[in-house]
Amino acid sequence: MPRTRRIVIVVFPDVDLLDVTGPAEVFALANRETGGRAGYLVQLAGPSRGEVTTAAGVRLLADLSFAEVGGVLDTLLVPGAVDLRPEGPVARVDREIVEWVKATAPQARRVASVCVGAHLLAAAGLLDGKRATTHWSTAAQLAAEHPAVTVDADPIFVRSGKVWTGAGISACMDLALAMVAEDLGEKVALAVARQLVMYLKRQGGQSQFSVPLSRSAGSRRDIEELRTYIAEHIEGDLSAAALAGRMALSERHFARVFRKETGTSPASYVEAVRVEAARRLLENTEEPLDRLAAACGFGSVETLHRALRKQIDTTPAAYRRRFRTTT
């Protein structure tokens, strides 16, 4: 008889649908690819049994209430939910779920969060002293609320001992594939990935899909206006000296103000803007690399290569092959 690997996925109102169904599909396909030998048993558990309406409006059924879970678990999987506010998405942290996760985690061989579920693990104290990831849009919130956690917004997933954290939304499937590879070997995981038409291991991290410039600029209107100017003049002189001159500040004072308001240096910010623009052109045009580099302010193809390697760990040609939307 195959070993049973019991996986409990937490569900609650407004949970992200794919955070639940994505991993469940991966584990189900692992069972199919091994003729049932994988032994994955997926159960949904919520504050109470029965119907749960997800953020997508699709309803799920919790197999068990929290009180009914009991016993030893192979994997406890914790998805998340967000509240949409004017300043952007904010991860929701429900104390009842946090307390149950905290009490149940010791019964599991491994514990994992997907997307903003990392905020629930952090609130339960399970990420203290550990490196963790979450969806890029709430990474700053996680770092601010839990300074004992080393938050890295770029990886698709992070493993720290028995605790795994996954990045944004579809990355839940990358996380589940990595678990299948650990349990059953990469050959089985690759077979599942092929069925899903996915890479077994993505190149690069979350930053290739996020918009690193979406964060609010803070309290200073002049910095917000400067950000707009940068986005509209990426091909021009955006050196720290030129930007400081535009702000009528000394270069040193400008650098301090800019970092305080945006959380990064002027040079890093400008590079991120230019990489974002280059990505759009690589995805949507056949523009030669020399013209594309010039249009985005890189000056040379070599500089474009270095920036993409640094920011998203790939080359312009490789990025274009994988993400081109034109035919």
Would you please indicate which residues are annotated as catalytic (active-site) residues? 115
Cα distances (Å, whole numbers) of residue 240 to 10, 275, 300: 48, 18, 19
Pairing of strands 82-85, 73-78: unpaired
**Amino acid in position 125:** G
Cα distances (Å, whole numbers) of residue 71 to 8, 10, 91, 109, 202: 11, 15, 29, 12, 35
Exposure string over 293-320, b if 16+ CB within 10 A, otherwise e: bbbbbbeebeebbebbeebbebebeebb
Cα distances (Å, whole numbers) of residue 183 to 71, 77, 132, 136, 229: 20, 16, 21, 28, 51
Q: How many helices (H) and strands (E) does the chain have?
A: 14, 13
Give the H or E element holding residue 42: strand 40-46
Q: Are 109 and 115 in contact (CB under 8 A)?
A: no
Reported for 126-133, long-range contacts at CB under 8 A and 24+ positions apart, including other chains, are: 126/101, 126/102, 126/163, 127/160, 127/163, 127/165, 130/160, 130/161, 130/163, 131/158, 131/160, 132/158, 132/160, 132/163, 132/165, 133/157, 133/158, 133/165, 133/166, 133/167, 133/206
Quote the CA–CA distance of 167 and 178 in Å, as a whole number: 13
